[in-house]
Structure 1
Amino acid sequence: MSARSDVIIIGGGIIGCWTAWHLTNAGCAVTLVERDRIGSGASSGNCGYICPSHVHPLCAPGAVANGIRMMARTGGALSITPRWDPTLWRWLACFAKHCNANDFRHASTARHALLQSSRTQYQTFADRNAADIKWQQRGLLLVYRSERDFEAYEEPAAQLRRDFGLRLDRYDGDDVLQLEPTLRESLAGGWHFPDDAHLSPSELLNQLRHEIEQGGGMIREQTEIESMQFSGAALASVTTTRGETLSADAFVLATGAEASKWGRELGCRIPVIPGKGYSVTYADATGMPETPLIFEDDHVAVTPLGDSFRIGSTMQLTGFDRSVPAARIELLKRSARRHLRVELPDATEQSWAGWRPMMPDGLPCIGPSRRAANAWVAAGNGMIGVATGPATGQLVSELVRGGPPHIDPSPYRVDRFQRSQ
């Protein structure tokens, strides 16, 4: 069997879906190919933050020392499984190289562009679909137990206001209870970003799917790419494990943490690795927090999702491991108990793990491939995939169609790692 489209998108996560949404709205005949089901990777189980506040990348000055301290803590938020893995070692070396002030500023500026564009687009999208995607605008509260760390955030807060125009408010001690009364007393304080929002990732994906298909786009789930066929300097078609040959005028690779495999076929070096995150979702949110929270001492996040309630985050560099160890889920619950005065729900819970696509410089790869003039890459959005999805999808759509980009694409160029290391 063979079929032809204007654009074939490989990968049905949040980036692939937003890209398909933008291209479909631009009048393209789009086929979205997903080896499992839409959102089955890192997209559906995350905490759903639409967070202009997350400007700063992980590769900050001092991040290596901080990471070592976190790993030294029993049950720390960051852990790396000891193993023979040269890919991981190269990634860590590249990450360390980018932990300097200049690269930190560069990445922060580029992330800000994606985050701000996406926040604006989400507002427009939510104006039509707020109830369907469980959209809420209660900001994001960073909660501190450590007085030293709470006070230390004064400097980055001033920088975020000065350089990016972000609004944030300081709440000392028990003043945080004004925003979220389910928090325990005697915390050090919190920093609140009132312009952040949140939604249900799974409901967002459902709505995107509906609008893509309504616009004429085709979604093929349970369909894995087996090989690529080239014709000169162009990608002509892909074959699937179903025995299909799918051809198109243009192709977009949006396979998240696994982008390096097909990236190599396209002549691209994409040093993305899986940063494994976890969440546990409760079916009953009665009495739970109504404000999204991040417990900064533990790097654990809390999201109210309408009738349900989610605790998530932490980072494990374990390779492509799909297991969900009970100890990691218990770590999330333990952090919630340390910060909340209310008991966790005695209700059905669902545990989840997903691979965040982590880049060593904190920026995604968005742009044309080296081998094929008609193939583009959109991968590596890290921990802000949901928050940057609309702008990433719009930028890819503009590049594929040859239109003027709405933001400068140069910071995300795919070839920036070709000669590094």
Structure 2
Amino acid sequence: MSGQNGKVIVAGAGLIGAASAWFLQRAGWHVTMLDQGRFGRGASHANCGFVCPSHVLPLAGPGAVRSSLKALMQPNGPLKIRARWDPALWTWLFRFARRCNLKDMLEAGHALQPLLQSSRQLYEELITTEGLDCEWEARGMLFVFRTPAAMEHYAETDKLLSQEFNLPARRIEGDELTALEPALKPGLAGGWFYETDAHLRPDRLMAEWRRILEARGVVVQENSPVLGFKQSQGKVVAAITPKGEQTADAFVLATGAWSRQLGRQLGCVLPIEPGKGYSMTMPRPARCPTYPLIFEEHRVAVTPMRSGYRLGSTMEFAGFDSTLRRERLELLKQGAAVYLHEPCAEPVLEEWFGWRPMTPDSLPIIDRCPRAGNLVIAAGHNMIGLASATATGKLVMELLCNQSPHLEIRPFRATRF
């Protein structure tokens, strides 16, 4: 299949959908994007904006079950599972627990590394060649630790990242830490600095991406949810929307946390659970950090942007519960206050949550639909949707254009569950 004069419908107008549309349009496809809401307003809107090759290790790893149970026992812990009858979630948790071993962790890490590295390079090329105003900064990222015990515990992770993935970090301790990042309080144990990482402002990226997509003829239809797909003779022939059927030659399923339901209609098992994450966006404090920061002990991430400042993180498995829980936002502020001279600034410009599309093995699904080869699934990107979007979009284009994938995609096959 070639893109020349072919029509493709991309279901989902978030980061993965936008990246797919971008590469498909450049390959000659006529692209229409359908979204249940507004372009870029889902989990893509106010995440922490990390483009992070350092984040190769999956959530499922040795000790993850123990640490998760410990977090669940804390009244205000970073992880919450809302008790309810939900067989899909409990099956997901069982699958996740089975992956919490060294062998599976390393396999997942080696699958994610080329995806993240490719995306990092493709972002730089995209932003430079297209002149995207998305507050891109390639400054690196600093993991900060409060206690010596936590610092030494992470030393084992650094050793693993160095030996297995050639991702060494620079160890920083004592006065060197506050010299590097004066926004940090004195007395912290230390940090680990990853120079390859970058960050940007996600909502600005999405606005800029929409601008260049529409300038090239991509059609964006908001408030147009895909309810299902019409199939004939082993192919998808139309996307079903409330306004009727829309036909195309090829299709992309990039609906994030909502992909499981649509996948079921296509005969695909897509064990994707919504994992709610929170963020707060503010003006830059007077003593704003220079670098993106991660406070591992409190599971809080900090993003300094040119036009603002963001705290984010936490994980909540509660289905598609749309309640914005203020206690989760308070956790972000309290955690940041342990490390920063000025953890917050006034006024708070936006309080937000988004549903991350979580898979039990921490790997996305990037593959042709087994029962309909003209539909490519690009979903389940967990907490690295932004970090892996550009490489995913390129893979989607390569699959639909029958090109050799630029990286190994067998770990992302749809039939692995």
User: Normalising by structure 2, what TM-score?
Assistant: 0.96
Whether the 8 Å contact between 2:60 and 2:362 is mirrored in structure 1 is yes
- Offset of 1:372 from its aligned partner? 1.2
SS at match of 2:275: strand
CA distance in 1, matches of 2:76, 2:9: 42
Residue in 2 that maps onto 1:371? 371
Q: Is the 8 A contact 2:227 2:262 kept in 1?
A: no
Alignment of 1:21-420 (within 5 A): 21-128=22-129, 132-241=133-242, 243-342=243-342, 344-417=344-417
Partners of 1:174 and 1:189 within 8 A in 2? no
Give the distance between the partners of 1:409 and 1:343, measured in 2 at CA: 41
1:283 Cα deviation after fit: 3.2
CA offsets per residue over residues 250-288 of structure 1, 9 Å max, x none?
111001111100001111000000111000000344432
* Deviating more after overlay: 390-399 vs 159-168: 159-168
SS in 2 for 1:378: strand
Gaps of 5+ in 2: none
Cα distance between partner residues in 2 of 1:380 and 1:239? 22
Greater shift, 139-148 or 46-55, is seen at: 139-148
State the distance in 2 between where 1:11 and 1:126 align. Answer: 22
Q: Offset at 1:364? A: 0.4
Could you tell me how far 1:96 is from its partner in structure 2? 0.6
Q: Which moves more between the two structures, 110-119 or 221-230?
A: 221-230
The amino acid across from 2:365 in the alignment is C
Q: CA deviation at 1:5?
A: 6.0
What amino acid sits opposite 1:320 in the alignment? F
Percentage of pairs with the same residue: 43
CA contact (8 A) 1:167 1:194 kept: no
| CA-to-aligned-CA distance 1:287-346 (integer Å, 9 cap, x gap) | 321210011111100001112100000111111112111111111011111111125212
Equivalent AA in structure 1 for residue 147 of structure 2: S
AA in 1 matched with 2:139? R
C-alpha separation between the residues in 1 aligned to 2:126 and 2:409? 23
1:152-205 Cα deviation digits (max 9, x unpaired): 111221221222222410011342112210111111110010110000001111
| Structure 1 residues 37 and 178: CA distance shift in structure 2, 3 A | same
Is the CA contact 2:280–2:348 (under 8 Å) kept in the aligned structure 1?
no
> Which 5+ residue runs of structure 1 have no aligned equivalent?
none
SS of equivalent to 1:66: helix
Kindly indicate whether the alpha-carbon contact (under 8 Å) linking 1:23 and 1:397 is maintained by their aligned counterparts in 2. yes
Kept in 2, the 8 Å contact 1:174–1:187? The answer is: no
SS at match of 2:322: coil
Q: Distance in 1 between matches of 2:113 and 2:415?
A: 21
CA distance in 1, matches of 2:6, 2:64: 45
Contact 2:336 2:343 in 1 (8 A): no
Aligned residues: 413
Q: How many angstroms apart in 1 are the aligned matches of 2:131 and 2:6? A: 32
Kept in 2: contact 1:273–1:357 (CA 8 A):
yes
Q: Tell me if structure 1 keeps the 8 A contact 2:293–2:301.
A: yes
**Superposed displacement of residue 127, structure 1:** 2.1
Instruction: Note closer, same or farther for the CA distance 1:51–1:91 as it changes in structure 2 (3 Å cut).
Output: same
One-letter amino acid matched to 1:193? Y
Letter in 1 for 2:331: L
**CA gap 1:73/1:25 in 2 versus in 1, 3 angstroms:** same
Q: Partners in 2 of 1:338 and 1:57 — Cα distance?
A: 26
Deviation at 1:389, TM superposition (A): 0.2
Q: 1:7-65 deviations in whole A, cap 9, x for unaligned?
A: 10101110011000110111111111111011111111100000001000000011100
- Regions of 4+ moved over 6 Å: none
Q: How far is 1:409 from its partner?
A: 1.1
Q: 1:233, 1:81 → 2: CA distance?
A: 39
**Please, what is the CA RMSD of the aligned residues?**
1.4
For 2:87 and 2:343, the matched residues in 1 are separated by 44
Contact 1:10 1:254 in 2 (8 A): yes
1:416 counterpart SS class: coil
Contact 2:44/2:202 (8 A) holds in 1: yes
